[in-house]
Amino acid sequence: MHYFAYRNNELYAEEVAVRDIAAQIGTPVYIYSAGTLRRHFRVFDEAFAGADHLICYAMKALSNLSILKLFGAMGSGFDIVSVGELMRCLRAGADPKKIVFSGVGKTDEEIAAALQAGILMFNVESRPELYRIAEVARRLKLKAPVSLRVNPDLDPGTHPHISTGHRTSKFGIPLSEVFDYYAEARGLADLELVGLSTHIGSQITDTGPFIEAGEKVATIVRRLKADGIALRYLDIGGGLGIPYQEEPPPPAEYAAAILKPLAGLGVKIIAEPGRVLVGNAGILVTRVLYVKQTDVKRFIVVDGAMNDLIRPVLYEAYHAIWPVQKFEGRPGVIADVVGPVCESGDFFAQDRELPDPRDGELLAVMSAGAYGFVMASNYNSRPRAAEVLVEGKTMHVIRERDSFEDQVQREKLVEFQS
Ligand code: LLP
């Protein structure tokens, strides 16, 4: 569900014509809908209303300061994976007591910064990390709140690059060692053992794997309790998919499914949704530069590229492509939508049926809010796109397009000796 819709054959973002944004800001441009972001947060939050819970938005999905501020104002906490993300959410006014820190490779500096900020907890992924956090905490004379991230060893049925819950993945601690870990962590005076976490993967479109993970972690939490380790938090991670093409369960169904095995544990549930909050709330608008017909294919060459949205080539991801203006009676054509980058992997769609786009027209790559702008790069010395947030009739530029100077400002021209 989102607030990008046609009015008289013109695509609107809420109350603003997409064509007007493109004319004013240029292309490629990411456009987000504030109403959609708010609605998604509300629906997800309400889905967990029956349980004591905290939503920690997985900000890696879309981390613009204004987006973080919008979610923070709705009561969201944040799931972070770097000191950069910590600083972003603090800059946006986040409550540190609602921040959880995930990831397999936290540096000493990152651990120290998070401890000093007073975050809710670290999701610990290995034994050496556990000891490192204890060491940094001791040095700072602070107590580190930790949760152990368990790898539940299951197949979430998603793309291998975004699957994290199988025991062959680098994430989490093995099921077979969980109790040893807790016993060991309990003996470390600089740690406070507050939780258990898991995260099985992303773009999951079936409740089955969530239920399986829920059952496994519930068994662990119960046994820990029996062993005298009463946890405060159970962090179920993120991972709920969006309808790029598939039909994932709605948040209420997902929440009901995952909460069932967790009933009666006496813990606060933390959820780390990323994609489901922001994915459909953003589009990437790009302009057709050329239509190139070869003897075997039709290529729609646009001004957006893989440096702006890498998901199609990286995950074989499907993104719907809509014309910003619909023309009655246009025939459909089968074409590849490609960018200017010098790689064959630079495409948004392949062999896609489209209403015969022509030079100069605008296309909207849909469902681009999650893992779109945040994975953008300056490859081919292309500027990263501008970001615009629409709120009703108002549009806010929340990030300007990179200038050339932005791209080269940290580079040095060497004074060569010869
Ligand atoms: N929590 C943890 C510990 C995570 O690693 C992730 C995502 C999330 C929460 C949020 O998952 P979500 O609700 O968004 O599925 N770039 C890829 C997705 C990478 C996901 C990484 N971890 C893509 O574009 O599909």
pLDDT, one tens digit per residue, over 220-236 is 999 999 999 999 999 99
Q: Catalytic residue among 49, 296, 342, 414, which?
A: 342
pLDDT value of residue 348:
98
In one-letter notation, the amino acid at residue 97 is K
DSSP class of residue 106 equals -
* CATH number, domain with residue 285: 2.40.37.10
**Domain end among 228, 248, 276:** 276
Atom of ligand 1 nearest to the CA of 275: 14
Cβ neighbours around 211 below 10 Å, total:
15
417: in domain? no
Note whether residue 352 is domain-resident: yes
Say if residue 165's pLDDT is above 80: no
The residue-averaged pLDDT of 339-361 equals: 97
For 98-151, the pLDDT digits (tens) are 999 999 999 999 999 999 999 999 999 999 999 999 999 999 999 999 999 999
Predicted confidence (pLDDT) at residue 3 exceeds the cutoff of 80: yes
Q: What angle do CA 60, 63, 66 make, to 5 degrees?
A: 155
Q: Can you say how many angstroms the Cα of residue 149 is from the centroid of all Cα atoms in its chain?
A: 19
Q: Is the pLDDT of residue 203 over 80?
A: yes
- The reply to whether 342 belongs to the active site is yes
**pLDDT, tens digit, for every residue of 45-77?**
999 999 999 999 999 999 999 999 999 999 999
269 and 289 share one domain:
no
Decide if 414 is inside a domain: no
Q: Residues 250-304: pLDDT tens digits?
A: 999 999 999 999 999 999 999 999 999 999 999 999 999 999 999 999 999 999 9
Of 381, 392, 388, the C-alpha closest to 25 is 388
- Among candidate residues 377, 343, 388, the one with its CA nearest the CA of residue 27: 388
By DSSP bridging, strand 99-101 and strand 333-338 are: unpaired
Q: Ligand 1 pocket by C-beta < 6 Å: which residues? A: 58, 61, 79, 102, 162, 199, 202-203, 237-240, 272-276, 311, 315, 371
Mutate to test the pocket of ligand 1, among 202, 234, 284 (most ligand atoms within 8 A of CB): 202
CB atoms within 10 A of CB 348: 28
For residue 406, name the pLDDT band (cuts at 50, 70, 90).
Answer: very high
Q: Which is more confidently placed, 194 or 155?
A: 194
Rounded to 10°, the helix 83-91/65-73 angle is 60
Return the bridge partners of 325, or none. Answer: 10
Rounded to an integer, what distance in angstroms lies between the CA atom of residue 199 and that of residue 278?
18
- How many Å lie between the centroid of ligand 1 and the Cα of residue 238? 7
Would you say residue 168 has pLDDT above 90? no
Question: What are the C-alpha distances in Å from 166 to residues 91, 239, 336, 409?
Answer: 35, 14, 35, 42
The number of the ligand 1 atom at minimal distance from the alpha carbon of 197 is 3
Q: Which residues pair with 204 in a beta bridge?
A: 240
User: How many domains does the chain divide into?
Assistant: 2
Q: Which residue has the tokens 């406070």?
A: 192
- Contact (CB, 8 A) for 391 and 34: yes
CATH of the domain at 111: 3.20.20.10
Q: What is the mean pLDDT of residues 200-216?
A: 95
pLDDT confidence of residue 161: 83
Domain shared by 13 and 70, yes or no: no
As a whole number, mean pLDDT of residues 410-418 equals 95
Last residue of a domain, one of 222, 250, 276: 276
Per-residue confidence (pLDDT) for residue 6, from 0 to 100:
98
Nearest CA to ligand 1 atom 6: 238
Give CA separation, 36 vs 5, 71, 143, in Å.
12, 12, 39
Average pLDDT over residues 303-307: 98
Q: What is the mean pLDDT of the chain?
A: 96
Residue 163: predicted pLDDT = 78
- Domain range for 354: 4-32+279-408
- Do both 161 and 306 map to the same domain? no
